[in-house]
Amino acid sequence: QVHLEQSGTEVKKPGSSVKVSCKASGDTFSTYGLTWVRQAPGQGPQWMGRIIPLLNITNYAQTFQGRVTITADRSTSTVFMELNSLTSDDTAVYYCARERLGYRSGWSPPLYWGQGTLVTVSS
């Protein structure tokens, strides 16, 4: 059974940065894509980017290019998402999710999700 445990609620000032963690347990960590998705209040999900920890390969949505960094620590099975230059538009629940198949098996959608981390940006 795969479990993803995210860090807690964050309140940030405009212009600052936030770093959210996601610790995986229960299955092989390194060979799956780990994705970050955010959801603003009342909105649909928005894909931010993903990482394959074994290869340390990342790709990001153009919308966030230059502002988001996704990293992984294989020794602790933890992925991190850091978002810089925060504005009120970044207020959202941020989810990490592990893809259904390992990266060698081709593209697959997120299957296992963390509980979400609420990030509020307010002056």
Partner 1 sequence: EIVLTQSPGTLSLSPGERATLSCRASQSISTSYLAWFQQKPGQAPRLLIHGASSRATGIPDRFSGSGSGTDFTLTISRLEPDDFAVYYCQQYGISPRTFGQGTKVEIK
Site string (41-60) toward partner 1, x via CB under 8 A? --xxxxx--x--------xx
Measured between alpha carbons, how far is residue 71 from residues 13, 14, 47, 63, 77 in Å?
23, 23, 16, 18, 11
Is 40 a residue that touches partner 1 (CB under 8 A)? no
Token readout for 101 is 């198949």
CB of 51 vs partner 1, minimal distance in Å: 13
Measured between alpha carbons, how far is residue 22 from residues 72, 75, 77, 89 in Å?
9, 13, 8, 22
CB of 6 vs partner 1, minimal distance in Å: 10
Which residues contact partner 1 (rule: CB under 8 A)?
Answer: 35, 37, 43-47, 50, 59-63, 95, 97, 100, 107-111, 113-116
